Amino acid sequence: MLDILASLNQIQSRKRSLESLVADTINGIRSGDEFNIFLDIYEDNSLAKAVEIDIKIEQGTAGKLAGCIIAVKDNICVSGQKLTCGSKALEKYITPYSATVIKKLEDEDAIVIGKTNMDEFAMGSSNEHSYFGPVRNPDAPDRVPGGSSGGSAAAVAGNFVPVSLGSDTGGSIRQPAAFCGICGMKPSYGRVSRYGLTAFASSFDQIGPMARTVDDISLILEVISGYDPADSTSIRADVPEYSAEIMNEQKDMTIGIPKEFFNEELDSEIRNAIESKIEQLASDGTRIEEISLPHITCSAAVYYILGNAEASSNLARYDGIRYGCCAENAEELEAVYSKSRAEGFGEEVKRRIILGTYVLSAGYYEEYYGKAQMVRKMIAEELNDTFNKVDFIISPVTPTPPFRLGEKTDEPLNMYLNDIFTIPANLAGLPALSVPCGTTSGRLPVGLQIMGRYCDDLSVLKLGKLIERYNK
Amino acid sequence: MYIPVIGIETHVQLKTETKIFCGCANRYGNAPNTLVCPVCLGLPGTLPVLNEYAVELAVKTASALGCTISNKSVFARKNYFYPDLPKGYQISQYDEPMAKDGWLRLSGHRTEKKIRISRIHLEEDAGKMLHPEGNIEISESRIDLNRCGVPLVEIVTEPDIGSPQEAYEYLSRLRQILLYIGVSDCSMEEGSLRCDANISMKIKGSDLMGQRTELKNLNSFKFVKKALEFEINRQSELLSNGEKVIPETLAWDETLSGIVKLRSKETSEDYRYFPEPDLIQLTLKDQDIKRIRSELPELPDQKRERFISDYGIPENNAAALTSTIELAEYFEEAASHCTDNKKLSDWILSEILNILRENRVSIKEFRISPEKTAGLVELIGSGRISGRIAKDLFREMVRSGNSAEKILSDSGLELISDPVDLEKIIEDVLGSSPEEVLSYKNGNVKIIGFLIGKAMKETNGKADPVLLNKIMKEKLDNCT
């Protein structure tokens, strides 16, 4: 399977038809059924679109993503298609509209090939919390691909598609990217429209690309970014031409290494992999500074209070009244709610709704939500202050390599700790990229995270490209 | 001696083209579920976008009610489950509302008391449920989501209202102002103005507040009054029997002429308010607040004062004429064609309002133009017609739509005010009434009334009464 840039080249120079590429891609996806990556494949639609785009290419009117085939996490709306969010609650739900990112991609003639599996409502770090069963890691089929965008990561890592869209609330793009040995970008908050992304925790959620190269990430990000009047939290800043700008190498920079991230819980092989990249950067003349972010250790606590609070409200609409899973044996209104939600939601989702409801309840609000808001602000300030001294913060993406299926499902707290390196970027709205950083001795992928200044997604991509080059 | 302490919350639908967070039309009376889109249906992935015009109307409302408007306010989610609430939360404002500390003067008089308004905030309306009870066409409950996302302002008073009558006056005045500034239709029938009341009793002179209950389902100002009266009696009786008032939510039931319990406050819901993360903070610049304030039309109080000073009419008339902006405009337009403002105002407030009531039309639909009304009042003032004839003339104007002048010249209803014509008629009357003339001569001056009546009869009431009186007296005194 070619990367997007190579594939675009082939299709747009008409070395092969998009129709045949789509047909091959669909065959490829079908051959990988055992990984349980795809929840829906848009065979007829994709082939029909491919024929149209082939004609456009011939006429020279095709968009810049003509030839790009993309898989989309199943919490992003594609008009007229199912939107399950990995949940029984929405098993049969069909959305009547497309997300802004989908429109932008389709305007450039990208083809959405289908929907990828995910942790239910994007809640999870292993993709084991999907109503449609777990996804297997293509690099190590007995292990998890990470989550919640596990399907999107595996689709790219398994070479089924060159690129996919995921969503990242506390690390849900970067962690599976690291577990699957690919690149995954969480853009600055507001950079990419959330319109059409099923909300988990609105003030954290961002859609982002997952691909095998930083070049491909840049190209997709460039297309999906930008102010959207339909999303009041999207930002009005101009979008650089990432794919072209990224060719200008990032030079003369200072990189901060937060000592709080390199503690004894970090897997030693991951630590070695990251440190060897830092050494390489240093030997190329990059200034490396050890920094301290004392409040960052509260990140997970803050995140699981605020994120679940927002989630408890965002998921209230799945009540069985208008659409989605509705219990049949409910006699009264109250029972329609409780039974439909009891049947529709999985354990992890229920756990988070209960936690979120609790922290917002009268008498507890100040103690939990109020305090967490305050600490979130402190962490964001701490990070932003740090970026007055350093240009980037480099860290691991995960404390451990991908774990085995079933290994952590009984330990939700332990599972939550998987996100400790990725959460701060969501708390502060910063851009963060996960790039491959070699493998462990057991040939398991390791990821390296680059966090950058708010709204300077470009520099993060540039540094990512530099580190990517060290891998070769 | 217990006295009532009442506070009122009013929900007012704002008259915008589109809903508060999406592009759907804000309209009443469409077929169910036809004014909806993914956003107001709360479908997965949708996001609200604030309608700036709704903000403008809310600021207008707050300005007209003398509120301090915040430069920064925050939308919050009010979380609760109900089938007419598709998102499972209502986007509202909570601890940082748009406006605070306003006031409203009761009734149209300068001396009346002020009711303080504690806050005004902006929020979205929910949908509507239709239940089989009282609705024979349906066999199950149904939901109409057309109303979802219609912009609302909630106006909350301090507990300053001291009686059901004051509550009635507060609401009437509030409605008057809202109609003046044109932010809402304020139709209780269509639900564009809805109110709830909180009520408790306290001992006169004491600061100690009693337990309060909340009254809902107050579908007209009259019901508000009735429900409050009922509840005051109920609470007073409880307290004087040494019993306690239980904090609960009650509803007025017009068919029962009584209240029914909706839910007790102890089990009342915890709305788990928190800042709405899908919207940014609402920022209002001073210059915009100033602009909106400066664009406010003249409000009822100001207009009333101006009517008193500019037109020299009594306060009562001024208050009545300014009760609606349409009536005030009618008066002002007519006054520009009229020399006697007092008579004009009397005429409008008695004759015109009567006929409007009779025909159930509004002043806007009234077929006699202000100019024609002015013409009629001028005619009366000139002495060319009597007050009695003026009323007939007016009926004819309403019927035909013609001007008073035209009807007068066509019908010959005009007063006979030519002294020569009148003299002739009087001479005839005197000639045919020798006994009465003699009686007058003998000192019975009151008999003149009989003679004038006779002359009036001769003229079918068209004789100018003043002139008739004068000439009659002269004739009687001069004839020997």
B108: pLDDT strictly greater than 60 = no
- Which residues make beta-bridge pairs with B197? B8, B215
- Domain extent at residue A291: 1-472
Quote the pLDDT of residue A404: 95
**Pairwise CA distance, residues A143 & A377, whole Å:** 36
Quote the pLDDT of residue B465: 80
Percentage of chain A lying above the pLDDT 90 cut: 89
**ipTM topping 0.85:** yes
B308: pLDDT strictly greater than 70 = yes
> Best of B21, B91, B274 to disrupt the A interface by mutation (most A CBs within 10 Å)?
B274
Quote the pLDDT of residue B393: 82
Q: Phi and psi at residue B147, in whole multiples of 5°?
A: -80, -15
Nearest to B277 among A75, A90, A310 (CB): A310
Q: Collect all residues with Cβ–Cβ distance below 8 Å to B449 and sequence separation of at least 6.
A: none
The DSSP 8-state label assigned to residue B63 in this structure reads H
The mean of the pLDDT values for chain A is 95
Identify the three-state secondary structure at position A112: strand
User: Which residues of chain B are within 8 Å of residue A197 when distances are taken between CB atoms?
Assistant: 45
Mean pLDDT of the B425-448 span? 88
Whether B48 sits inside 8 A of A232 (CB atoms) is yes
- Closest Cα partner for A160 from A132, A191, A135? A135
**Token pair recorded at residue A306:** 């605020």
- A234 or B424: which leads in pLDDT: A234
| The residue type at B65 | L
Quote the pLDDT of residue A127: 96
Structural domain count, chain A: 1
The answer to whether the CB of A206 falls within 8 A of the CB of A189 is yes
The answer to whether the CB of A158 falls within 8 A of the CB of A121 is no
- Closest Cα partner for A437 from A208, A255, A278? A278
Whether A365 sits inside 8 A of B47 (CB atoms) is no
Unique residue bearing structure tokens 């990208």: A110
- A23 or B436: which leads in pLDDT: A23
- B388 or B67: which leads in pLDDT: B67
**Which stretches of chain A drop beneath a pLDDT of 70?**
1
Unique residue bearing structure tokens 């013609």: B402
Whether B88 sits inside 8 A of A360 (CB atoms) is no
Q: Read off the pLDDT band of B268 (50, 70, 90).
A: low
CATH fold of the domain at B419-478: Arc Repressor Mutant, subunit A (1.10.10)
User: Which residues of B lie inside 8 Å of A (Cβ-Cβ)?
Assistant: 38, 41-50, 77, 79, 81, 83, 86-89, 143, 270, 272-274, 277-280
Assign 3-class secondary structure to A127-142. CCCCCCCCCCECCECC
Angle (nearest 5°) at CA A111 between A105 and A114: 110
Nearest to A316 among B47, B87, B274 (CB): B87
Unique residue bearing structure tokens 């956003």: B39
The mean of the pLDDT values for chain B is 90
User: Does the model's pTM come out above 0.80?
Assistant: yes
Strand segments, DSSP code E, in A299-440 are 392-396, 432-439
Parallel, antiparallel or unpaired: strands B114-124 and B99-105: antiparallel
Is A231's Cβ below 8 Å from some Cβ in B?
yes
The answer to whether the CB of B229 falls within 8 A of the CB of B164 is yes
Q: Collect all residues with Cβ–Cβ distance below 8 Å to B114 and sequence separation of at least 6.
A: B103, B104, B105, B106, B160
Peptide bond between residue A148 and the one before it cis (omega within 30 degrees of 0) = yes
- Which residues make beta-bridge pairs with A40? A115
Q: Read off the pLDDT band of B380 (50, 70, 90).
A: confident
B194: pLDDT strictly greater than 80 = yes
Identify the three-state secondary structure at position B432: coil
pLDDT in tens, A122-162: 999 999 999 999 999 999 999 999 999 999 999 999 999 99
Whether A194 sits inside 8 A of B86 (CB atoms) is no
Percentage of chain B lying above the pLDDT 70 cut: 96
B173: pLDDT strictly greater than 90 = yes
The answer to whether the CB of B142 falls within 8 A of the CB of B130 is yes
Identify the three-state secondary structure at position B88: coil
Q: Collect all residues with Cβ–Cβ distance below 8 Å to A258 and sequence separation of at least 6.
A: A291, A292, A293, A296, A393, A395
B2: pLDDT strictly greater than 90 = no
Nearest CA in chain B to A96: B38
User: Which residues of chain B are within 8 Å of residue A93 when distances are taken between CB atoms?
Assistant: 44
**Pairwise CA distance, residues B384 & B465, whole Å:** 10
User: Which residues of chain B are within 8 Å of residue A75 when distances are taken between CB atoms?
Assistant: 44-45
**Pairwise CA distance, residues A204 & B284, whole Å:** 26
CATH number at residue A318: 3.90.1300.10
User: Which residues of chain A are within 8 Å of residue B44 when distances are taken between CB atoms?
Assistant: 75, 77, 83, 85, 90, 93, 95, 198-199, 317
Whether A96 sits inside 8 A of B143 (CB atoms) is no
CB pairs under 8 A between A and B: 99
Q: Collect all residues with Cβ–Cβ distance below 8 Å to A332 and sequence separation of at least 6.
A: none
Quote the pLDDT of residue B464: 80
| The residue type at A155 | A
The DSSP 8-state label assigned to residue A197 in this structure reads B
Domains in chain B: boundaries: 2-292, 298-411, 419-478
Angular region, B88: left φ>0, alpha ψ -120 to 50, beta rest = left
pLDDT in tens, B9-34: 999 999 999 999 999 999 999 999 99
**Pairwise CA distance, residues A135 & A151, whole Å:** 6
pLDDT in tens, A345-389: 999 999 999 999 999 998 899 999 999 999 999 999 999 999 999
Whether B278 sits inside 8 A of A232 (CB atoms) is yes
Quote the pLDDT of residue A416: 75
